[in-house]
Amino acid sequence: MAVQLMQEMWQGEISTVTIGAVKEEGGSRAYSIKIGGEQSLPCLFKEGAIPNKPEIAFEIWDIAPNDWPSELSKEYGHALNDPFLWAEKCVKEYKARSLCVRLQGAHPDSGDKGPGEEAAFIRQLLDKVNVPLIILGTGDDTKDNLLLPACSEAAKGERCLIGSAVQDNYKTIAVSLLADGHNIIAESPIDINIAKQLNILISDMGLPLERIVINPTIGALGYGLEYAYSIMERARLAALSGDKTVASPFVCFVGQEAWRAKEAKVEDSRQGVMWEVLTATALIQAGADLLVMRHPLAIEKVNKYIDKLCS
Amino acid sequence: MALSGLDIYRLLPKTNCRECGFATCLVFAMQLAKKAVSIDKCPSLSKESRAALEASAQPPIKLVTLGIGEAKFEAGNESVMFRHEEKFHRPCGIGFIIEDSLSNVLIKDKIIKINKLKFERIGQKLEVNLVAIKQKESAKRFTEVVKLVADNTSLALVLMSDDLTGLKQALDITANRKPLIYHATKENLPQIAELAKDYNAALVATGEDLDAVSGLTVELNNLGISELILETGDKPIAEKIWDLTQMRRLALKKNNRSLGYPSLVVINQADPFEEAQEAASYIAKYAGIVLIKGVEPFEILPLVTLRQNIYSDPQKPLQIEPKLYPIGQVNDKSPVLVTTNFSLTYYTVLGEVEASKIPSYIVSVDTEGMSVLTAWAAEKFTPHKITESINKLGVKDAVKHKRLIIPGYVAVISGELEDESGFEIIVGPKEAAGIPSFLKNLPINT
Ligand code: SF4
């Protein structure tokens, strides 16, 4: 008996954001990556195109992280003390397709490095590794407003993804990124309306929706994962139904959240890896486009999963 | 799917004969839609209409019960495609496959591990549900292993075999445990249907694709069997998710009875990470049961946690009772930490206070289950509310000092809270992870 399938017909489409510019485009990356572009819900390839696979970026810091549990930090060993070595290890040894550098050392509480110093660091990093780069500020609004414009300028033309812009603090960042040809991370606190609002505010400043990536602010597995999961599903349904203001790809800071979980810091180090792996897996099922992760084994497993999904 | 009053009206004789006690067929239809009367009241209903009305009164996805007693497990009765639309009702069953080719020692060892897979997170017990015994050897060996497993675990059982003799013998010893028979295929249909009927056991129906599965359920229904769980063939993850999505959609939105049953997925992955990723995908996307092989806590705790997340009620954040909770051997000098009654927040704080090994009190203020920042923004965690709570919950009777530790995120309220409560306010860390070092460095000048 033939079953009459039920196919959803979507009119909307997630915008495609390109990260990294190659030489011909005015940058110096070896290649660029594309995220977004979906015309269907995750995995439902039969209902619309899913042109780009979810991407994973390795998270690195400009200073040695002091709050990474040993189960995680032992993977990188002494490379954690040298961001260039760390970056090269990710690219050469672990075949990272992109890197996400967090400028923690500029945070007022952890070094308070100046914008000039960090901008020079970013330029040097771009010269050392040629993969697409994501740049994160400190989360301190005042500092980020000085820091991110400087880094944006230092990376001019490389088409980085830079953030985060938040509802109370997006103008300065958006203006610089617009001028220097980068993409922006718009961060909203697990709230679809704020996500929408922020996208509108940023695009009103001239940065087109095609250059915005939403950070829905995830919680790790067991720590509020389900809130982001449902916000992402709701945003995707709205976007596919035609609401352009939430039709941006999602970036999810999986490593940062997963390794804070108590359950990740146990003797059996496989549990921490599994915590990161399943946080990523669930978010991919909710529509994550770019996952920023930490543990090399977790990244390897999630990459394999992505390949299996999209084969 | 429930029919509307008008849908029902179309199925009625439309003679307005009043036999049902209502003035017109339309009024009767409206009452039926509200489930205020029984369809039996209309004597002139055609056979087809009656069947359609009866079908519409059933839940779109049948509830199937396996196992008995404490280990009773239910799947089905789901009502939505996305958890935010309402909630997912019956947490996906997690079961473990044990092959009869393993030695008895190894089997026992595995069961011991499975029985230990009990966890507790944010006040909820997280448990696994099923053990599946798979026949690879003779019917005799299979039966032996089924007995061994049945004797050593109370979890619901799945009997996996293509050998009818093996199944029959296994059912002889486990029928009273409400096992699940795996599986009916187009090759064994009449025989296995008879077994399921004789032993009153639920049955998995397995077909290549949705057409085949639907064909099987129709035939099984005709043979009088309706305790069914559905499985499509072995296929890549995305195709499996397509099948699971279609089954859920067609049952819910098109009232397709032949697919209106819970689903089952057998995962065949040796690597624990890959196995868990597949299981997680199907837990998120509509599976009623997943069967895996791995029994190690590092794999299972994350999986049951994911299931807890996906199946939590999005409308009702998990809350704990607003109370003054003593943690450890407290005395009247112990520090007092203020937080909300959102389970996740409370248990995170609790975990860190315990880790600090410093006996403390935690006051959980009634924020209707909101987290610190959300509650503050929604004015449920104001100086006034907090003061009310500490007075009501007896903080002043419990400790002699007058100091409160508040979450770093609401540092802005310290002044006002100090005035209102009469307590000295100490601003704690923003993140719970900072609590142990914060408590250790707290000057003990009481
Ligand atoms: S008994 Fe049946 S046919 Fe007669 S009025 Fe009622 S619904 Fe209509």
CA atoms within 13 A of residue A235's CA, in its CB half-sphere: 31
Listed range (A45-49, A150-154, B6-10) with the worst mean pLDDT: B6-10
**DSSP of A125-178:** HHHH--S-EEEE--S-HHHHHHHHHHHHHHTTTS--EEEEEBTTB-HHHHHHHH
Q: Domain coordinates of chain B in residue numbers? A: 5-57, 64-311, 324-440
Interface test with B, best of A3, A44, A273 (most B CBs within 10 A): A3
Helical H runs in A33-114?
70-73, 83-88
**C-beta of B29 in contact with ligand 1 (< 6 A):** no
The rounded percent of chain A whose pLDDT value lies above 90 is: 91
Q: Could you read off the pLDDT of A95-118 as tens digits, one per residue?
A: 999 999 999 999 988 899 999 999
Cα distance from N-terminal residue to C-terminal residue, chain A: 29
* Chain B neighbors of A67, CB-CB under 8 A: 433
* Burial of residue A185 (number of CB atoms within 10 Å: 0-12, 13-18, 19+): buried
Residues of chain A in contact with residue B299, where contact means CB-CB under 8 angstroms, are: 270, 274
Distance in angstroms (rounded) separating the CA atoms of residues A178 and A173 = 9
B247 is in an annotated binding site: no
* A280 within 8 A of A220, measured Cβ to Cβ: no
Distance between terminal CA atoms of chain B? 65
Residues 415-434 of chain B with CB under 8 A from chain A are 431, 433
Give residue B369's identity as a one-letter amino acid code: G
- Note the pLDDT tens digit of each residue in A242-283: 999 999 999 999 999 999 888 999 999 999 999 999 999 999
β partners of residue A58: A99, A293
Contact assignment for A230 to B210 by CB distance below 8 Å: no
Instruction: Considering only CA atoms, give the Rg of chain A.
Output: 19
- The CATH code for residues B324-440 is 3.40.50.11600
CA–centroid distance, residue B31 to ligand 1 (Å): 12
- Residues A255, A260: Cα–Cα separation, whole Å: 9
Assess contact for B197 and B225: CB atoms under 8 A. yes
pLDDT digits (tens, 9 = 90+) for B388-399: 999 999 999 999
CA of B255 to the centre of ligand 1 (A): 25
Find out whether B432 is annotated in a ligand binding site. Answer: yes
Q: What is the per-residue pLDDT across A141-168, written as a single tens digit (0 to 9) for each? A: 999 999 999 999 999 999 999 999 999 8
**CB neighbour class for B373 (10 Å; exposed up to 12, middle 13-18, buried from 19):** middle
Among B211, B274, B303, the residue with its CB nearest the CB of A301 is B274
Interface check B206 vs A, CB under 8 A: no
Token readout for B393 is: 């919950």
d(CA A17, CA A34) in angstroms, rounded, equals: 6
Using the predicted structure, report yes or no on whether residue B434 has a pLDDT greater than 90. no
Do the Cβ atoms of B178 and B201 come closer than 8 Å? yes
CATH code that applies to domain A16-310: 3.20.20.20
Residues of chain A contacting residue B344, judged by C-beta atoms under 8 Å apart: 223-224
Q: Is B19 in the pocket of ligand 1 (CB under 6 A)?
A: yes
Interval between CA B41 and ligand 1 midpoint (Å):
8
The Å distance, Cα B58 to ligand 1 centre, comes to 22
The residue ranking higher by pLDDT, B209 or B344, is B209
Architecture, CATH, for domain B64-311: Alpha-Beta Barrel (3.20)
3-state secondary structure of B296: coil
Query: Is the ipTM reported for this complex over the cut 0.85?
Result: yes
Instruction: Classify domain B5-57 by CATH architecture.
Output: Orthogonal Bundle (1.10)
pLDDT score for B317: 74
Residue B47 alpha carbon to ligand 1 centre in Å: 14
For residue A280, what is the nearest residue in chain B, using CA coordinates? Answer: B277
State whether B214 and A3 contact (CB < 8 Å). Answer: yes
Chain A contact present for B241, CB below 8 A? yes
Query: Which residue of chain A comes nearest to B254, CA vs CA?
Result: A6
Interatomic CA distance for residues B438 and B434, integer angstroms: 6
pLDDT bracket for residue A1 (50, 70, 90): low
Rg (CA), chain B: 28
CA A161 from centre of chain: 8
Cβ contact, residue pair B83, A44, below 8 Å: no
What is the tens place of the pLDDT at every residue in B407-419? 999 999 999 999 9
Question: Residue B258 in 3-state DSSP?
Answer: helix
Is the Cβ atom of B372 under 6 angstroms away from ligand 1?
A: no
A154 min Cα distance to partner chain B (Å)? 33
Q: What ranges do the domains of chain A cover?
A: 16-310
The answer on whether B371 is annotated among ligand-binding residues is yes
What are the tens digits of pLDDT across the range B281-327?
999 999 999 999 999 999 999 999 999 999 999 887 778 889 999 99
